[in-house]
């Protein structure tokens, strides 16, 4: 699959580079000027003058047509000295006519038009804002442009007015796809040393299958994230404009479809190349280290919280406008290369909406090895670009497409609340790794319940944010709720009710992979026992695990506590127990922050037939490969050639054992040895929730152990 992706990347990159030889840049020669015109006293007119090139036009505020036309807009930034009166009015020679390829009458202005906003100004000030527009001629439309302006008022209270012309785009300025701008969030991540894995005895079947399943799931999740991103304001509002732009400028419908498909393919190439570059720069081992390191998890928590707050409307995150200008200056529409740069411009300026989703996906994709980021971005870009291609092939769907409005903001707020819930998992990972006990199980569950309830009320319209639009109301003054939002609200409330018993110690097996371990719950933590005599005594026929027990007990899975399963935490101690009890050893290479480890424990270990075998027939030793809080004594530290790093902690030691002896560095992974450390089966067993398959695997291990120990 990776080879196919690489081949497709090289093909499309070569195609676009070849097309660049014929690029043709179409300039935006419109001229905008701004002034504050004093009428009397503190009454002013804030005026935007637009001078259009010959044969070009701009659509009216109410453009008519088939709903796909892009009207201009002017927005003023809040200013304590300025009180706006009414709405912006347009003044010029309005032309209404029918146009080829557009249903209905189109309203537009030729040559020039003024946009006038009445205002009361009480003091000298600088008035700023943004203007958003698109100009067209009889053959084509330039991409929508969003720019800022400033008007300086120096005559507030004086008898005469002074007008200030805004810094307007020069005739050589090129258009920019609509987006808001804000300071970029730039963060540099330093890669960890690479991990070299011994390939002499690499378990093939289960590990490969588990990796394939994980990558497939990552692709599906990323695909869903891309589709979800379509419904954010930055992308959704651009679909009819962009599609109509391609179809309108093309001589034939087939040409319009082809251009739109190349536009969509460009988006796929851009995001996938981003994923490949991330993998090439950091590598698989460094990405895996980042996904488990407490500092990285804390950084991810802060980053996702910032993204979530952005989605909730506090601010917007954008890449530098210079990036937009650099790509947009090359976005000519006369070649495939121009289409590619148009797609690149969209990717950059839509970052305020796609960035939080992409950032979250890249965090998850970092657990997928070298292929993870590439697969993640490939899936995301397919979901994001799909509407542009589909609407180009079936343009009639544009007429049925829901109009942009307040519901797009509701999508962002919903995503913001969901991202807050996801962010807690990363804080929990760091908390568990360092033993801070800031986010114990009941605190985690309580926050999730509150966020789920807030989301439910928001979807029902019972909770409003300051930037939300008013929704339609019935005769009783109550807001209408769509069926879709109603079912989402029901789901949110059901989730909150499901979590509620967890506040009193319910295992919540369905969410065990995401919740902190039961050991952090007050009833089962350091302050009290598990309520299970076998667990509290930590005995196995007179043997007592000793090494690292005080530190590791916190992370034991629920099945260990409820079923009285004795677990060891040191390899040598497990070998000694196996020699005395004459039982095979199951080496459980696991992690504090390993989601699939928790799934295996809650979904497989907890089954009666599995739990019985583990308790009666095996020595279970849980080796946490990410437990780096506990340092080894200086005389036990050493350099690992396989890991290419100094082994200083218990986690390093366990990771080195897994990589050196078993040729693996992923968790969960189960290997089976006897009291001498000899392997009882070839390879091992990775994540696979098939209970009967796991039972059969354990039976095979028992049989091999019995055969070698008559």
Closest C-alpha among 306, 334, 300 to residue 184? 306
Whole-number pLDDT of residue 41: 83
pLDDT one-digit tens code per residue, 212-257: 556 677 788 888 777 877 776 567 656 666 666 666 666 676 777 7
Whole-number pLDDT of residue 536: 42
- Average pLDDT, stretch 586-592? 89
CATH 3.40.30.10 domain extents, the chain: 521-708
Spatial distance between the Cα atoms of 22 and 28, rounded to a whole number of angstroms: 19
Whole-number pLDDT of residue 477: 66
Spatial distance between the Cα atoms of 294 and 76, rounded to a whole number of angstroms: 44
Token pair of 236 as six digits: 């959704």
Model confidence at 368: pLDDT above 70: no
pLDDT one-digit tens code per residue, 382-416: 888 887 777 767 766 666 665 555 666 787 788 78
Spatial distance between the Cα atoms of 494 and 453, rounded to a whole number of angstroms: 9
Which segment, 122-126, 162-166, 296-300, 497-501, is predicted with the most confidence on average?
497-501
Closest C-alpha among 185, 211, 70, 201 to residue 133? 70
Spatial distance between the Cα atoms of 69 and 105, rounded to a whole number of angstroms: 11
Residue with tokens 């799931």: 217
pLDDT band at residue 352, thresholds of 50, 70 and 90?
A: low
Our separate counts of H helices and E strands in the chain read: 22, 16
Whole-number pLDDT of residue 198: 39
Residue with tokens 């305020």: 352
Mean pLDDT of the chain: 73
**DSSP type of residue 314:** S
CATH superfamily for 521-708 is: Glutaredoxin (3.40.30.10)
* Contact assessment for residue 244 and residue 398, using Cβ atoms and an 8 Å cutoff: yes
Model confidence at 4: pLDDT above 70: no
Closest C-alpha among 347, 268, 294, 345 to residue 11? 268
Whole-number pLDDT of residue 418: 84
pLDDT band at residue 178, thresholds of 50, 70 and 90?
A: very low
DSSP strand pairing (135-136 vs 82-99): unpaired
Closest C-alpha among 600, 579, 576 to residue 588? 600
* Angle between helices 2-19 and 253-292 in degrees, nearest 10: 130
* Contact assessment for residue 240 and residue 398, using Cβ atoms and an 8 Å cutoff: yes
* Contact assessment for residue 105 and residue 126, using Cβ atoms and an 8 Å cutoff: no
Token pair of 269 as six digits: 């190439």
Closest C-alpha among 71, 158, 162, 88 to residue 129? 88
Which residues, at least 6 apart from 215, have a Cβ–Cβ distance to it below 8 Å?
A: 1, 368, 371, 372, 375
Global pTM?
Answer: 0.46
Whole-number pLDDT of residue 15: 39
Model confidence at 157: pLDDT above 80: no
Whole-number pLDDT of residue 574: 92
Model confidence at 491: pLDDT above 90: yes
pLDDT band at residue 690, thresholds of 50, 70 and 90?
A: confident
3-state class (DSSP) for residue 491: helix
Spatial distance between the Cα atoms of 101 and 448, rounded to a whole number of angstroms: 51
Task: Give the rounded distance of the alpha carbon of 171 from its chain centre.
Answer: 38
Model confidence at 179: pLDDT above 60: no
What is the CATH number that goes with domain 31-153? 2.60.40.1250
* Contact assessment for residue 596 and residue 548, using Cβ atoms and an 8 Å cutoff: no
């Amino acid at each position: 699959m990776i080879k196919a992706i690489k081949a497709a990347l090289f093909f499309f990159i070569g195609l676009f580079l070849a097309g660049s030889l014929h690029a043709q840049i179409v300039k935006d020669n419109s001229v905008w000027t701004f002034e504050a015109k004093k009428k009397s006293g503190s009454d002013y007119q804030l005026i935007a003058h637009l001078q259009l090139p010959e044969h070009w036009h701009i659509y009216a505020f109410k453009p008519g047509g088939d709903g796909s036309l892009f009207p201009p807009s002017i927005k003023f930034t809040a200013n304590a000295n300025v009180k706006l009166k009414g709405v912006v009015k347009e003044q010029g020679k309005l032309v209404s006519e029918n146009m080829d390829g557009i249903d209905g009458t189109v309203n537009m202005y030729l040559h020039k038009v003024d946009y006038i906003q009445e205002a009361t100004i009480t003091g000298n000030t600088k008035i700023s804002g943004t203007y958003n527009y698109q100009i067209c001629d009889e053959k084509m439309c330039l991409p929508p442009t969003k720019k800022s302006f400033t008007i300086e008022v120096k005559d507030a209270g004086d008898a005469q007015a002074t007008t200030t012309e805004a810094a307007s785009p020069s005739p050589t300025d090129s258009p920019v796809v609509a987006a808001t701008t804000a300071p970029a969030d730039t963060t540099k991540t330093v890669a960890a040393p690479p991990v070299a894995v011994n390939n002499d005895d690499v378990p093939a079947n289960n590990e490969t299958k588990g990796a394939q399943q994980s990558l497939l799931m990552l692709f599906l999740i990323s695909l869903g994230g891309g589709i979800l991103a379509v419904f954010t304001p930055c992308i959704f509002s651009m679909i009819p404009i962009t599609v109509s732009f391609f179809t309108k400028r093309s001589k034939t419908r087939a040409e319009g479809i082809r251009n739109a498909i190349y536009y969509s393919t460009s988006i796929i190439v851009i995001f996938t190349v981003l994923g490949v570059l991330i993998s090439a720069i950091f590598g698989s081992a460094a990405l895996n280290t980042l996904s488990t390191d407490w500092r990285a998890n804390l950084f991810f928590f802060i980053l996702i919280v910032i993204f979530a707050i952005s989605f909730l409307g506090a601010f917007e995150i954008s890449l530098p406008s210079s990036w937009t200008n650099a790509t947009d200056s090359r976005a000519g529409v006369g070649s495939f290369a121009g289409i590619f740069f148009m797609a690149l411009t969209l990717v950059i300026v839509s970052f305020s909406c796609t960035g939080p989703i992409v950032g979250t996906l890249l965090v998850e994709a970092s657990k997928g090895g070298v292929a993870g980021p590439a697969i993640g971005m490939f899936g995301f870009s397919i979901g994001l670009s799909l509407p542009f291609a589909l609407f180009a092939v079936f343009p009639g769907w544009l007429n049925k497409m829901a109009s942009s409005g307040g519901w797009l903001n509701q999508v962002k707020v919903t995503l913001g609340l969901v991202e807050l819930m996801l962010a807690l998992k990363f804080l929990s990972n760091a908390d568990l790794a360092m033993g801070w006990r800031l986010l114990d199980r009941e605190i985690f569950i309580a926050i999730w319940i509150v966020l789920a309830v807030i989301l439910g009320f928001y979807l029902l319209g019972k909770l409003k944010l300051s930037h939300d639009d008013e929704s339609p109301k019935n005769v009783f003054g109550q807001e209408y709720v769509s069926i879709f939002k109603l079912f989402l609200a029901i789901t949110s409330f059901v989730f909150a009710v499901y979590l509620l018993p967890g506040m009193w110690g319910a295992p919540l097996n369905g969410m065990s992979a995401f919740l902190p371990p039961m050991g952090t719950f007050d009833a089962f933590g350091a302050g009290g026992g598990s309520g299970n005599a076998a667990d509290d005594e930590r005995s196995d026929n007179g043997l007592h695990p000793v090494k690292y027990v005080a530190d590791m007990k916190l992370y034991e899975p629920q099945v260990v506590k409820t079923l009285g399963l004795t677990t060891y935490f040191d390899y040598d101690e497990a070998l000694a127990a196996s020699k005395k009890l004459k039982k095979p050893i199951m080496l459980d290479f696991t992690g504090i922050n390993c989601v699939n480890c928790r799934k295996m424990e809650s979904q497989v270990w907890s089954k009666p037939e599995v739990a019985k075998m583990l308790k009666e027939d095996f020595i279970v030793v849980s080796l946490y490969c990410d437990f780096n809080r506990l340092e080894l004594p200086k005389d036990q530290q050493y350099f690992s050639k396989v890991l290419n790093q100094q082994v200083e902690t218990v986690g390093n030691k366990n990771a080195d054992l897994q990589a050196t002896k078993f040729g693996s560095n992923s968790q969960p992974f189960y290997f089976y040895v006897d009291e001498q450390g000899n392997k009882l089966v070839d390879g091992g067993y990775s994540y696979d929730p098939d209970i009967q398959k796991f039972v059969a695997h354990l039976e095979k291990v028992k049989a091999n152990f019995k055969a070698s120990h008559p």
